[in-house]
Amino acid sequence: MGSFKHVGKIKNTGVRVLVVFRTLPGESDKALVLPTATLPDAYHNSIMELVETDQAQQSFEFGELMFVRLFPDGRPMLQAMQSDNRLQKVSTSNVIMTPTNNNEVSLDQLNILISEQKNCTVDELCTFVKGASTEKLKTTEVTEKETSTKLQASNNAPLSDEDIAKSYRSQADAMYKEAARLRKEADDLDPPKKKVAKVSEDASA
């Protein structure tokens, strides 16, 4: 795998993870991560394809994009991973980010650098996705040893019709914005030709 934003590993174990949210509400020293090695192939491929998109690489939190995207089977990505007990809450100091193949930085240090650039505190970095209930995304905090041996359970509450509807609306909004962006880029590359009004001939002239 090349160097991509949101990709990291657990310190001392090397377990590969995607950082879904770099901080959590009220817990700036905790992150929500998704181990990728044990994902079913269809889910793994869909997730990794999403990570490699320009939209994902430009996003501040990968979880915001997961919230509005669906797996091939129609399940919302973020909610599906939560429902399947695959999301883990870990200390940011235990997550090593790999911005390039030759560089590594712990997530807690990276968050400090980002907060300095944004002129805010690390606590203020939290941009937990709107519409995703923090209650439904609670996870069991795991230690390094536990992370390397098993996935810890998170809340297993099923999605309500309201949750699914919110996800569909958010997805529709995101798709509309993406379509508008692509249309603008297309028009910049090849400006649409102005239509010339046809002048009908007067047959009686």
> What does the H/E/C string look like for 93-129?
HHEEEEEECCEEEEHHHHHHHHHHHHCCCHHHHCCCC
Across the range 41-58, mean pLDDT stands at: 92
Q: Quick one: pLDDT band at residue 40, thresholds 50, 70, 90?
A: very high
127/136 Cα distance (integer angstroms): 16
27/84 Cα distance (integer angstroms): 23
pLDDT digit string, tens, across residues 93-121: 999 997 666 778 899 999 898 888 888 88
Who wins on pLDDT, 160 or 106?
106
Contacts of 79 (CB under 8 A, 6+ apart): 67, 132, 136, 159, 163, 167
On average, the pLDDT of the chain sits at 75
At residue 60, the pLDDT reads: 87
Q: Quick one: pLDDT band at residue 78, thresholds 50, 70, 90?
A: very high
Across the range 189-194, mean pLDDT stands at: 73
Q: Which of 156, 142, 150 is nearest to 31 (CA)?
A: 142
Percent of the chain with pLDDT over 70: 64
11-35 per-residue burial string, b: 16 or more CB within 10 A, e: under 16: beeebbbbbbbbbbeeebebbbbbb
pLDDT digit string, tens, across residues 161-181: 565 555 556 555 655 665 666
- 3 state SS of 203: coil
Beta bridge partners of 28: none
